[in-house]
Amino acid sequence: MKKTARIAAVAAIAALSLSACGERPSDEPADTGSASESPSESESSPAAEEIDFKACMVSDSGGFDDKSFNQTSHDGLEAAAQNLGVQTGEVESQSDSEYGDNISALVDEGCNSVTTVGFLLGDATLEAAKANPDVDFSIVDFAYDKAPKNLKGLVFNTGEPSFQAGYLAAAASETGTVGTFGGLNIPTVTAFMEGFRLGVEHYNEQEGGDVKVLGWDGKDGSFTDDFEDKTKGQQVAEQMIGQGADIIFPVAGPAGLGGLQAAKDNNVKGIWVDTDGCVSTEYCDVLLTSVMKGMDVAVEEAITSSVNEEFNSELFVGTLENGGVGLAEVSDDVDPAVVEKLDELEQQIIAGELKVG
């Protein structure tokens, strides 16, 4: 059975769900759309009448066209404009030093809700929420021990589908070596890398394998030290390929695209993160699958709750069980028996038989 994880808005975006089956996107560009496009976002749906509400967003330094988490989160803002009729405002951050000022600028524009994207905006977002109790804030990829009532964290247990991705990589590797690298050594990056490592370990334990992971040992690993430099990502991946890695798992935003370029240049495979890389990148031909996060749906739901005056600070955690995370469709090149095993692993994780993340 072919497997896909498609994050969709259902019941007025009241819940998150995964579709178990689907078709891998073709190379035709005309039919792409969002990696987690919902039925309500299709071209047949008319735009909602504009309402007196402004929803805004601040990116991290990767920008809204990063083909990764900023872009997918921004899709949620666009969906809110289409489906709810909200006005929108946005600022693309050029550096880490701009986060506080960019949030303040949107508050000064009269935004009713502000969504910030990325772990690095955590402190600036908390400060802004405390200073502006009448504005609802949500942040992608950050959780607070105690958030004020107008601040909601949107986080995702990416270790779960990354565990599946690690198992897949180990099963598909012909050299017995796979590689992963991150942009920065921060929890929202290393969660992917650790899940991947544990998935490889599980394959070795279950199948008597000896597949090695380059780039992450559970405590330390390889990082480009930013999310923007594609050349750095390509260099790191090429070093791993030179050491025998035939599958690359970059967790580095636009810098990770360099890893996929290295995979393509050297006739090896890759696994993308955050979005379905067969939709958001030009590297579908080298991808085995992608580890997806339903950031667009979570963002739209947070904006919806603010519009409806139902906003609260309860942390949202996306999991395999609630459909907030999942794998995109697995390549036809993968043995169907391995795909069936990935389905089994998903059910074991959901049932609590396998502890990940």
Q: CATH no. for residue 113?
A: 3.40.50.2300
Residues 215 and 306 in one domain: no
Strands 136-140 and 151-156: parallel
Average pLDDT, the chain: 88
CA gap 152, 314 in Å, rounded = 6
Question: Domain of 265?
Answer: 159-291+332-350
Across the chain, how many H-helices and E-strands are there? Answer: 10, 14
CA gap 205, 214 in Å, rounded = 18
Residues 127 and 196 in one domain: no
Kindly report, residue by residue over 61-115, the tens digit of the pLDDT. 878 887 778 888 999 999 999 999 999 999 999 998 999 999 999 999 999 999 9
Residue 93 lies in a domain: yes
pLDDT at 2 over 80: no
Question: What residues contact 333, with CB distance under 8 A and at least 6 apart?
Answer: 172, 288
The tokens for 153 are 């964290």
CA gap 33, 276 in Å, rounded = 11
- Whether the CB-CB separation of 355 and 156 falls below 8 Å is answered with no
Q: Report, in angstroms and rounded to the nearest whole number, the Rg of the chain calculated over CA atoms.
A: 19
Indicate the SS3 state at residue 56: strand
Kindly report, residue by residue over 7-32, the tens digit of the pLDDT. 333 333 333 333 333 334 444 433 33
What is the DSSP secondary-structure string of 286-339?
Answer: GEEEEEEE-HHHHHHHHHHHHHTT----PPEEE-TTTTSEEEPPPPTTS-HHHH
Residues 277 and 317 in one domain: no
Residue 115 lies in a domain: yes
Residues 105 and 168 in one domain: no
CA gap 52, 54 in Å, rounded = 7
- 286 CB neighbour count, 10 Å cutoff: 24
The tokens for 60 are 């991290």
Residues 209 and 345 in one domain: yes
pLDDT at 273 over 70: yes
Strands 15-18 and 7-10: antiparallel
Indicate the SS3 state at residue 78: helix
pTM over 0.95: no
Distance of CA 150 to the CA centre of its chain: 24
Residues 229 and 344 in one domain: yes
- Whether the CB-CB separation of 54 and 15 falls below 8 Å is answered with no
Strand partners, 327: 291
- Whether the CB-CB separation of 74 and 41 falls below 8 Å is answered with no
Residue type, 171: A
Residues 95 and 12 in one domain: yes
Residues 300 and 280 in one domain: no
Task: Give the model's pLDDT for residue 308.
Answer: 97
Residues 305 and 284 in one domain: no
Residues 96 and 146 in one domain: yes
Task: Give the model's pLDDT for residue 45.
Answer: 64
What is the DSSP secondary-structure string of 181-207?
Answer: EESSSSHHHHHHHHHHHHHHHHHHHHH
Question: How many structural domains does the chain have?
Answer: 2
Residues 122 and 16 in one domain: yes
